[in-house]
Every structure is written in structure tokens, then in C-alpha cells.
Amino acid sequence: NRSHRGYDSRRLVSLEELRRIVNVNTRIPSARNQQCLRFRLVQADEAPLVYPHIHLGGALPELNLPFEGTEPRAFIVVCSTISEDRWVDIDLGISAQSMLLKATEMGLNGICIGAFDTSALTKILELNYPPLLVIAIGKGIENICLKEIGEHESHAYYRINDTHYVPKVKLDDLII
């Protein structure tokens, strides 16, 4: 599973595919078994309403990602029925990664988006609960390369030509 910021606009994600992705939440752990996350599915017809209120590629602002014509055509907006706290955040992390792994298994890709206009999305999508995270889903078109680094090297991702490089701390530096 890798974060994609550009998608094949010809590949639409169906409601059934989004439901299959969200369905992993019926089987994963939940801190204190509170099961407080709720999901708003956004398909191609509504997706353009979301674009102006999300921000992708914060470390590469000069690129203005996604490039025109490569915007995601589907989203899963993750909300919570209770106030955000450390337990909700634990559930959010487990849920987001599980859904992205399911999407990858299905031949799709995605990205977790934490930079978004909460009030705008709440109003536009008529959400009953505050959004915590937006997950874009689609067929990624990017060439992504992992680059092993030491723990004190820069973690900032970057692009050279058409390749998106993602620095990852090597195993020996992760283990304490």
C-alpha cells in the first residue's frame, strides 16, 4: 500500500467497491470496542464537490497536486460518533490502514488526507458527525519508489521526473 496523489480518471470506483472497502471495519479491532467510526461514501458525481476542500502533497506545494485530470473520483470520509480522543485516533489508524490494504487487494489505490476544510465538507456532504479523515480511492497512476534512509535523514518525500520518492527509515534504525 502506497499513497497515490494522481489517479486514472477513466477508472470509476463503484458503490459496491467502496462498500467492500468499508466492510473491513466490521472485522477489525476497536479500542474499548467503542466502534464509533462512521463512513460517508462519495462517488464520481459528488467527487468534484470535495476537490476544492482537500489538499494533497503538502511537502510539494509547488506541484499543486493532484495534477489536473488526475483527481480522485471516489472518497471515503471517516467521521466519529463521539469526540476525538486517543482511543478514536487508534481506531482511525487501524481503520484507515485496513481500508487502504483492502483497496490495494482489489487493485485500487488511495491516500489518507488530513488536510481538509472540516466545516465545508460537513455542510456539502450533509454529515451528521464531524469528519476526521478523508480517504481518496481510485486507480493510481504514479510511479512510487521507496528509498531507505537513516533515522536522522530527511523524511520529506520528493519527486524527480515522474517518480515519487518516499524515504523510509531502515529496519535497524527502527528497532530499539
Mean pLDDT of the 87-115 span: 97
Which residues partner with 78 through β-bridges? 39, 133
- Determine the Cα–Cα distance for residues 142 and 55; give it in Å rounded to an integer: 17
List strand residue ranges (DSSP E) for 32-121, in order. Answer: 37-42, 74-80, 109-113
CB atoms within 10 A of CB 114: 11
In this model, does residue 58 exceed pLDDT 90? no
Give the pLDDT of residue 156.
Answer: 93
CA quadruple 10, 12, 97, 58: dihedral positive or negative? positive
Task: Give the strand pairing for 74-80 and 37-42.
Answer: antiparallel
| Residue 167: partners with Cβ closer than 8 Å, 6 or more residues away | 146, 147, 148, 149, 153, 154, 155, 156, 157
- How is the beta sheet containing 143-149 ordered, strand by strand? 143-149, 163-169, 158-160
Give the pLDDT of residue 159.
Answer: 93
Whether pTM > 0.85 for this model: the answer is yes
Residues 126-154 have pLDDT tens digits of: 999 999 999 999 999 999 999 999 999 99
In this model, does residue 59 exceed pLDDT 90? no
- 3 phi, psi to nearest 5 deg: -80, 120
Give the pLDDT of residue 45.
Answer: 93
In this model, does residue 31 exceed pLDDT 90? yes
Give the pLDDT of residue 34.
Answer: 94
